[in-house]
Amino acid sequence: MKKLIAIPLVLLAACASQGKGTADIAIYDLAGANAPSAAVAAAHAGLALELRLPVWLDSTAIIYRLAYADPQRVHQYARARWAGQPSPLLQQRLRQSLAIAPGSAPCTLRVELDEFSQVFDAAASSRAVLRGEVLLLGKGRVAQARMPLRVEHPSASADVAGGVHALAAAADAAAANITGWLQQQDLSVCRPKN
């Protein structure tokens, strides 16, 4: 009789143990941007934000590269995903950092990224890479100014968690670079009419 009771308990324990199902996949987002100052918010009034990422980043996969082995090959973490596609997650973080309200505006700040991934220079060393171009589009969406954008931030750990935190920090550094660049631009035509 004891053997008959023990078998269901063993099966129940096996079902309750951690498996390899979808519940074990870590889900990450890019929340928690630093609040910009009132001066930054006022300076960026009249700007809309548009973000473009390459097609190969059009999924919830968290991408990494092994620069020391095959830098052209992209890999995906098997047990981790973004909470949504990276484009809206990154756009939200940049919008918060730059204090740009959603909606239309006289001018558009377009951020076109070619790279948004974790790059391993060695098995135990990685960094976040955010690379592309920023364009200031005036009325009629005519390019008024452009700036190359390249930000790298070291990962605190050579894993997905370290990579995600480094990508968030790289996004904040990109926002700071963009803010400095915008201070050098003539944004008078972008100011909303009172």
Share of the chain above pLDDT 70, in %: 87
Both tokens assigned to 66: 């092994």
pLDDT of 193 reads 65
Quick count: other Cβ atoms within 10 Å of Cβ 101? 13
Q: What is the pLDDT of residue 11?
A: 37
Computed over every residue of the chain, the mean pLDDT equals: 87
- Residue 101 gets the label, from left (phi > 0), alpha (psi -120 to 50) or beta, of beta
The secondary structure of residue 193, as a DSSP letter, is P
Read off the pLDDT of residues 95-144 as tens digits, 9 standing for 90 and up. Answer: 999 999 888 889 999 999 999 999 999 999 999 999 999 999 998 889 99
| Amino acid 131: pLDDT | 97
Judged on CB neighbours under 10 Å (0-12, 13-18, 19+), 170 is buried
Q: Are strands 61-66 and 107-122 parallel, antiparallel or unpaired?
A: parallel
- pLDDT (mean) for 134-158: 95
pLDDT for 22: 59
**Nearby residues of 138 by Cβ (< 8 Å), 6 or more positions away:** 106, 107, 144, 189, 190
**Are residues 28 and 62 in contact, defined by beta-carbon separation less than 8 angstroms?**
yes
